């Protein structure tokens, strides 16, 4: 058994063991990140590797497995106490008391029970809260009133065709009754492609390409133009360039750059001004 434990422990790297020990203490991903000086995304990556190596599906199962195979050390001062000698004589054999659980172990067992209860009761709650008002005794939904019926053509998604060029992480905005897709990422890398959808004509048009090919950007209509601030030119390289598209002239111009490189941000237009929130500066999230 000891050899099996050593083999299981060797499956995990030193950092993964640190993450597992932090999980066993009940720490959140954010707390683990602060403790180990890593990002929350890196914590999630380590957790996925731990789940795969220990063949578990959750934090609770990983903690239990770690305790079972002995790769998580018991906190100091919480080992089992030895039974006291009998005071009635050598011939009297006192019953051995069952080992008591440490406080933190009780907490984990309670957490596991609560999690199991949530999993089992969630389908029931969904049926209960989503069920129309009807007979409170029979579990049979009451028929919807005729005026509440949804017409087949309403509240439904309809396929309007595909975008001409497969891509992701592009800027999208509506302007003058048309939909503008700007930049983004293709299998070959970032692109400055501009594609415009005209709902009235049900067709796609191609606009002048953005001078700087970027992904993870926002496109924001302001006045008679479309602003595209910053973006990433590669997986992590952010830029501060701000380029502006003029739909009427089908042309681009460059304006004052951002104070610092930025991509993967949130953005909005308010009172004729652009606002950028958060994002990635090439080395860290802001």
Task: Specify the pTM.
Answer: 0.48
In CATH, which of 2.120.10.80, 2.30.40.10, 3.20.20.240, 3.40.50.1100 is domain 171-277?
Answer: 2.120.10.80
Mean pLDDT of 118-143: 53
Mean pLDDT of 113-137: 59
3 state DSSP class of 105: helix
Better-predicted residue by pLDDT, 109 or 131: 109
Is 238 in contact with 250 (CB distance < 8 Å)?
no
Is 60 in contact with 108 (CB distance < 8 Å)?
yes
Domain 2-69 fold: Arc Repressor Mutant, subunit A (1.10.10)
Residues 145-181: tens digit of each pLDDT = 444 444 556 788 888 778 999 999 999 999 999 999 9
**What is the pLDDT at residue 85?**
39
pLDDT confidence of 83, banded at 50, 70, 90?
very low
Query: Measured between alpha carbons, how far is 185 from 166 in angstroms, rounded to an integer?
Result: 9
pLDDT confidence of 234, banded at 50, 70, 90?
confident
Q: Domain residues of the chain, as ranges?
A: 2-69, 171-277
pLDDT confidence of 256, banded at 50, 70, 90?
very high
In the chain, the DSSP E strands lie at 171-175, 178-182, 185-186, 189-190, 194-198, 203-207, 220-222, 225-229, 242-246, 251-255, 266-270, 273-277
Residue with tokens 């983004």: 184
pLDDT confidence of 135, banded at 50, 70, 90?
very low
């Amino acid at each position: 058994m000891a050899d099996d434990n050593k083999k299981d422990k060797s499956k995990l790297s030193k950092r993964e063991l640190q993450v597992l020990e932090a999980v066993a203490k009940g720490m959140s991903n954010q707390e683990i990140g602060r403790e180990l000086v890593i990002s929350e995304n890196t914590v999630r990556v380590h957790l996925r590797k731990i789940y795969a190596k220990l063949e578990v599906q959750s934090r609770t199962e990983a903690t239990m497995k770690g305790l079972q195979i002995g790769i998580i050390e018991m906190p100091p001062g919480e080992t089992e106490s030895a039974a006291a000698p009998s005071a009635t004589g050598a011939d009297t054999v006192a019953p051995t008391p069952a080992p008591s659980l440490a406080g933190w172990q009780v907490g984990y067992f309670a957490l596991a029970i609560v999690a199991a209860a949530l999993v089992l009761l969630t389908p029931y709650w969904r049926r209960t809260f989503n069920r129309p008002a009807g007979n409170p005794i029979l579990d049979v939904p009451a028929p919807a009133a005729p005026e509440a019926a949804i017409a087949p053509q309403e509240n439904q998604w309809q396929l309007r065709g595909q975008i001409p060029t497969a891509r992701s992480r592009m800027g999208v905005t509506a302007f003058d009754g048309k939909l503008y897709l700007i930049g983004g990422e293709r299998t070959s890398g970032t692109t400055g492609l501009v594609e415009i959808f005209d709902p009235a004509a049900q067709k796609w048009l191609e606009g002048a390409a953005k001078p700087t090919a970027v992904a993870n950007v926002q496109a924001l209509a302001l006045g008679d133009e479309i602003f595209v601030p910053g973006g990433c030119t590669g997986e992590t390289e952010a830029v501060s360039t701000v380029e502006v598209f003029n739909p009427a002239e089908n042309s681009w111009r460059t304006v004052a750059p951002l104070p610092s490189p930025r991509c993967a941000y949130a953005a909005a237009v308010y009172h004729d001004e652009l606002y950028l929130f958060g994002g990635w500066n090439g080395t860290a999230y802001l």
